[in-house]
Structure 1
């Protein structure tokens, strides 16, 4: 699924030479995109950190500690995007690429779906503002698949604003389990290339990952004892008893649940006390929620540890999350899976280097609600 917007300005050919791209990040999270960029880089073409910002202090410490090796790194700003002075970012250096995974709460299928009228819906405009200010060669924007759910109205607005800043855009609805991630995590990701640059991004094909083992059982095997963030969730005897009545792949609404263990609620979300299936990818790892939303082991009557959740998100075992247990849970759930990000960043690097790679048929863009057609 790729979509191209033409422009009447002169295109400048890009040489097939090695290059280092300096990346800025808004809504950086704990470093999923940062790790993915590092994994995608090689000796000839690479993406390096220039600056990053997030509103959460623990998240900033996690990012700085793991991506830069210094939790107090000055190039990682802890600030509210709504009051952040972009000139402070500019002082940290120019950028060639920008990534922003703007908060998805108001577009998620789980929740009230307030869209642009919610607290988080308008935050994408700060990414647009950054594109106008910095004019990087390319950008990557990420949000939940639920952003497509209103017939394309939301996407038409967002895509239009992106194009208006001077970019051709290439949106795609990625299913990360098709790209080697052991989790059914579906996200709308838009890659943009500045219109005066003669480069066309092509969505990488998942064919290279056909047959890959993306099962939860394999993903959670052999976690080393030295890995951090392995604290168990405290669970009451009642919860343990309830889990013992739920088979692998099942949830709290199984038919034979004893009366005293049933949950009385009108909203029967499938993720409540849902247990994994060891032979299949995990369902989506989320960043918040009450009891029953922690993701549950297929055979042991317990919630997954944060390290296990991080494994499903494809963070390396030596990646250390800062903060208390609930803070870490939120960071992991809100992140972009590094291995998924790696695939996209590799395609960006290959596109700019003039390297051919297997890609998805561009005509499939018509299946994206709100996407202008090629």
Structure 2
């Protein structure tokens, strides 16, 4: 059973790799997910996706604003993935929600669901989505996804618990079409191994000819500042001479000139930000290379990102970790194959405001083993 996958806001291909790698055989039948078409609006991102995911069919990647995309001319799909833009829902930012430029873009996923009625969908966004517009944005999105005819399960995934070497927390919503009579369960790894940033970057060592591995030029001032910052510290909690301290008033972002702790997963890899936001090596006085950042995001070393160094940085930071999403896709396939897997109750619960007032979302520790 092969599911043809369509993607909106596809990014460089993190979701596509996870989907591709989730395939398995059961009772003589192959369960798999194959690329059908994808859409994004940034040229470098589309080139990266085409080069690595579908080099034999680059025309299946439509590079244009989703608001201009003619979905009527797209081929039929069995699964839909859309990591709709998070800019207006992220806790780092103004949190404009639906009132921003990006907040309403999830509706194009709704349109695709209504048109194609695929067997399942997967939608991804930042954890801040829960609180945007006082929780109204999240509830509205859940309601509209449900209204398209799907049994919807939302969960806040902490990817470091899924053997990703990074503390990256994302809401992933999975829906299975109601008439299929199947219910997705949130997968868990019972005894996950903690993958540290040192392990991710050094084991195995990055090949000398690996793509996207250029060093960033650091100013003497930055190098001197980093000499005073210990692993796990940042520019504000380290003991730094006055002439090297940052002149910052108001909020102090903890990731500014923050070194990795080599004995822990990395902090969240981001795709934008000025000086001091590039993630810094625990020992060497420098920012990470893009290939090292890609390692933290679990991209394979032969995955080539296209574009300038800053464009590549953005693509890596905005991507979904392939290793983390692979397990979710695998669980979707197991649901259709009716194969039991270890699961946990969703840690996001949406409740009817008419009955309970303000929406409540509580984590649960009730584990289910199937």
Q: How do residues 1-374 of structure 1 correspond to structure 2 at under 5 angstroms? A: 19-43=1-25, 44-70=30-56, 73-89=58-74, 93-150=75-132, 151-209=134-192, 212-221=193-202, 222-266=205-249, 267-361=251-345, 364-366=347-349
* CA distance, structure 1, for counterparts of residue 221 and residue 209 of structure 2: 31
SS in 1 for 2:33: strand
User: 1:186/1:263 Cα in 2 relative to 1: closer, same or farther (>3 Å)?
Assistant: same
Deviation at 1:106, TM superposition (A): 0.7
Which sections of structure 1, spanning at least 5 residues, go unmatched? 1-18
1:260-299 residue CA offsets vs partner (Å, 9 max, x unmatched): 1111122210011011000000000001111100000000
Deviation at 1:254, TM superposition (A): 2.7
1:36-63 residue CA offsets vs partner (Å, 9 max, x unmatched): 0111012410000000010011111111
- Which ranges of 4 or more aligned residues in structure 1 deviate by more than 2 Å? 149-152, 364-372
Which sections of structure 2, spanning at least 5 residues, go unmatched? 352-358, 363-370
Higher relative contact order (CA 8 A, sep 6+): 1
RMSD (Å) for aligned C-alpha atoms: 1.7
* CA distance, structure 2, for counterparts of residue 351 and residue 47 of structure 1: 14
Q: Are the equivalent residues in 1 in contact too, given 2:119–2:177 (CA < 8 A)?
A: yes
* CA distance, structure 2, for counterparts of residue 256 and residue 137 of structure 1: 55
SS in 2 for 1:63: helix
Question: Number of matched residues?
Answer: 348
* CA distance, structure 1, for counterparts of residue 105 and residue 18 of structure 2: 23
Q: Are the equivalent residues in 1 in contact too, given 2:228–2:238 (CA < 8 A)?
A: no
Q: Normalising to structure 1: TM-score of the pair?
A: 0.90
